[in-house]
Chain A
């Protein structure tokens, strides 16, 4: 009896702890997503996206998908976000230039978003999904993931590797700094004019 009560208390505490963690991580995610929308500075937007990705990784931990959480941290936070930040640094001619949308655009987009969110929440509340517990505690989900990737999902797995190869070659080809033909490059005189790359010259001309 006492042991049962203790187990019940432990289970309640675990449930409460997971609820608290859910609200912490979901608050982080939602606040980051709102920051991505509301921030006008692109660097701050990237930082808000970082918080969203961290919160989503925490939610994966709560959903007992530890491998996915690690993948999220490594690939998204460590890879994609760094890539985006590099893109911001390489393409911001003046990093304080802000893109202000028109008020009519804000009104239209906001109303569309509110209606869509209300419709989604009502659909979620009215839908009755068949929920059940998945027994993964003793089943080594990482091992099961590997078996599934090399078993049932072998063809998409190999296709993903081909896609990554194609993307790598394509991105390297696209991002190659190339000098456009048929346009005089040097504009200003001076002894060091030939050493200046066309990119920085153009940036200087536009700023």
Chain B
């Protein structure tokens, strides 16, 4: 009896999820809403964090949200090119975004290290050296 129940667990799970997600075919809008949510979270952490590295993490979240949108549009809303091959513009934009995000993180962390060497903190509220 227990063995049968154990063997039925995947089927039960599948039936349950089919019942739950019957009409929930994942489409472009799901990815766009997720991207909007990640974008808003990144914006919030940029606004609320006072640690400079926290702000950098918010920027990374925003870039990831943009990447989700780019790849989702590339998957769902892109036509084939004239010769029948796939058009991968969205994925290539996403690759460039990843490259530039890595470069930006490196430069930003170098600046933060320099700032920390000079002021012993990375609280952005104290970065008032250039304030007029």
Residues of A within 8 A of B (CB): 12-13, 15-16, 18-20, 22-23, 26, 29-30, 33-34, 36-37, 42, 45-46, 49, 52-53, 56, 59-60, 62-65, 67-68, 71-72, 75-76, 79-80, 83-84, 86-88, 90-91, 93, 99, 101, 105-106, 109-110, 112-113, 116-117, 120-121, 124-125, 129-136, 139, 141, 144-145, 148-149, 153, 156, 160, 163-164, 167-168, 170-172, 174-175, 177-178, 180, 198-199, 202-203, 205-206
Contacts and interface: CB of A to CB of B under 8 A. Distances in A.
14 contacts: A18-B26, A42-B54, A46-B57, A49-B60, A56-B68, A67-B91, A76-B60, A84-B105, A113-B44, A121-B33, A139-B85, A148-B89, A171-B109, A202-B117
A80 B104 CA distance: 10
Contact of A117 (B36, B48, B71): B36
B65 to A, nearest CB: 8
Contact of B37 (A75, A117, A175): A117
Contacts of B92: 145, 148-149, 153
Contact of B71 (A63, A76, A80): A63
Which 7 pairs, one residue from A and one from B, show the smallest C-beta to C-beta distance?
A: A33-B41, A99-B50, A174-B110, A120-B36, A175-B110, A171-B110, A167-B103
Q: Is the interface of B mostly helix, strand, loop or mixed?
A: helix
B71 to A, nearest CB: 5
A16 B57 contact: no
B99 A160 contact: yes
Given A68-B91, A76-B98, A42 B106 contact: no
Given A59-B71, A60-B71, A139-B85, 19 more contacts: A19-B21, A19-B25, A23-B21, A34-B41, A36-B54, A45-B45, A52-B61, A53-B60, A59-B68, A63-B75, A80-B105, A99-B49, A105-B47, A110-B44, A125-B29, A163-B100, A171-B106, A174-B107, A177-B117
A87 B48 contact: no
A113 B40 contact: yes
B53 A91 contact: yes
Interface of B: 14, 17-18, 21, 24-34, 36-45, 47-54, 56-58, 60-61, 64, 67-68, 71-80, 85-89, 91-92, 94-96, 98-103, 105-107, 109-114, 116-118, 120-123
Contact of A36 (B57, B73, B110): B57
